[in-house]
Amino acid sequence: MRDPSSNTGPEQVPSFPYLLCVGLVAAAGGLSHPGLWSLALGANLPPYVAAAPVGMALLVTFVVLRPALARARSVVDLLVAERDGTRGREMRLKDELQLAELALKKAEAAQSHAEAAAAARSKYLAAISHQVRVPLSGVTGMSDLLSETKLDDEQAALVDTVRQSADDLQSILSGVLDFSALESAELTLEDAPYDIREAAEEAVLAEVAAARKKGIELVFDAPPDLPTEARGDKDRVKQMIAVLVSNAVKFTQRGEVVVSLRGVDRAAGAEMEVSVKDTGIGIPEADRKKIFAPFSQGDARSVERYGGTGLGLAIASKLAALMSGQVSVKSTPGEGSTFTLRFAHRLRQTARGNATRGPDLSGQRFLVVDDCTPAADVLARQLSFWGATVESVRGVEDGEDALWDSMAGGPQFSAMFLDLSLSGIDATALAARISEKIETLPLVLMSPQDPKGARAAVAEGIGVAALEKPFRTENLEKALVRIAEAQADRIAETATNDEAAPKPPRRQLSRPLGPVLQPACIILADDNATNRTLIEKFLADEPMTLIHAPDGVGAVEAFGSWAPDLILMDVSMPRMDGLEATRKIRAAERAQGLARVPIIALTARAMADDRAKCIEAGMDDYVTKPIRKAELKVKITEWTGSRRMTA
């Protein structure tokens, strides 16, 4: 800036662009900077003239920067709003998190409460099972023993009523316990070898008495070549089949109930199909879904007439679902129903394609006279499978025609199977006439209703064998043995002038008629005196020494004093229960290097995990109270057959 007192040259006035630039710089750099103002004022201009470009610059700057400032303000507002929104969301998330934590705590508390309730329920049901089954065991056992004594007809009927009532009570109790276990998912399936034919036969035979009482014929139809050795839960399979057969018998007043077994072999196992067809009252379409619901029998009148809890089909359906299967029904009211059970069936590798052939009947020709078509077909199919030629007729007239044709020069019959329940005639008298007229014809008397009468007729010389229906394969084999013996005897009798001619050897029975107990020393540990007395009477005629122990402490002491071949161990006992006593015995065996003694649990507890607890404690088998004489003998035979197991 030039000194104003100096007159060395002409005065130079800054140009307008210069002032405008100064103003813009001033506006951009800060109006408060004194150096910038000195540039303008140093031009020796009046202040208002010097400020004009600066004002203009400010105006231009304001016009140019205003949109940017507005956008900046908008951005700031958005940031503030977003910040506030984030804070709000954070607060809401905190609230929701607190609510979730509270809900989780409530759920955990509810789960804990439910688990405690389930445990309490299981404990309660187990206690109820124990309290009911213990006296029930005494009722059923003593009634069984009483039925073996000499009773008149009225007394025998009363004993049968007591026994049937006890069986009904046991069935109801088992149904409630099973349904409870299934509903709470506490039931687990076993995985052990078993025979499906045997399981189905046992389920069918359990209903024979009820069917006979109503005059109904039970037919069991299983293909002779069906591979039946499998792995699974035999008891549960038998339970499902028993439910269907029991219902069929209950709701059928006349005719027959046919139980058919079929299987389809697959790469990873098989699907088993069991159909139960009856000629009963049938089920209306509207009620077919109801019958699978718990505590329901469809029509309310059925409950009044037939009774029952309505749990059977519900339990069978749930068990089938556990085995990847189902239960279905087809029915025509007034004509009958067919229930079909399907479930996964794991065949054992050794069973694929291998069926027991049985006797060789090649060259044999049999006549079957039976007016129950399904039963006749089953018998003919089994005999044909063994190689025989079978002619099956439905009535007496057709049977007589076949016999006379044979006597008149036609093919001879090796034997005749005659059903004693043929309608409209006295079949026993007919059998007597046939035996008199055709002495060379062995006659097998079949009876679905009166096996004692059939056996009595055979004892009087009418026929060579009695075959109870529905027949088991082993019983049919025994009847065939009697036929072979009769044929051999006839050949020996007709041999001329050769009294010393040896008879053809007779076939020996491949199986004993019943369980034969080995001589054994058995410790019986049970705190209930009635049960000890009952088992002692069950085994009174058997070659064994029975050592009584009133509790687990006594069982352990008896084990130390004796060398038992078997221990029957009650589970619930005072002072020391059966589980703890078993653990102590197993520990003593290990410590002393002793061989393992079989221990069979005797228990009134029948919940899902009771068997597992017994096996875990070191027991080898399990019998549920009420104890049946036949079942107990079979178990003892199994475990004392070899006297000792490998340690």
Say what the alpha-carbon torsion angle 302, 305, 309, 313 is, to the nearest 10 degrees.
-40
Distance in Å from the first CA to the final CA of the chain: 122
Q: Extract the residue ranges of the chain whose pLDDT is less than 50.
A: 1-11, 30-33, 36, 349-354, 497-498, 501, 503-514, 642-647
Q: Residue 587's pLDDT is what? A: 95
Per-residue pLDDT of 449-502, as tens digits, reads: 888 888 888 888 888 999 999 988 889 999 999 999 888 877 776 665 445 545
Q: Residue 52's pLDDT is what? A: 61
Question: Is residue 266 classed as helix, strand or coil in its secondary structure?
Answer: strand
H or E element in which residue 317 lies: helix 312-322
Are the C-beta atoms of 378 and 369 separated by less than 8 Å? no
How far CA 50 is from CA of 20, 62, 373, in Å, comes to 10, 19, 132
Which residue matches tokens 């199919």? 381
In total, the chain counts a number of residues equal to 647
Q: Residue 4's pLDDT is what? A: 46
Q: Residue 32's pLDDT is what? A: 45
Q: Residue 285's pLDDT is what? A: 86
Q: Residue 388's pLDDT is what? A: 93
Beta strands in 333-442 (DSSP E): 336-347, 365-369, 389-393, 415-419
With CA atoms as reference, report the closest residue to 59 among 29, 20, 33: 20
Per-residue pLDDT of 100-124, as tens digits, reads: 888 888 888 888 887 777 667 666 6
The model's pTM is 0.62
Are the C-beta atoms of 268 and 316 separated by less than 8 Å? no
- How much is the CA Rg of the chain, to the nearest whole Å? 47
- Using a 10 angstrom Cβ sphere, with 0-12 exposed, 13-18 middle and 19 or more buried, the burial of residue 343 is buried
With CA atoms as reference, report the closest residue to 568 among 231, 6, 137, 148: 137
**Phi-psi category of 436—alpha, beta or left, where left has phi over 0 and alpha has psi -120 to 50?**
alpha
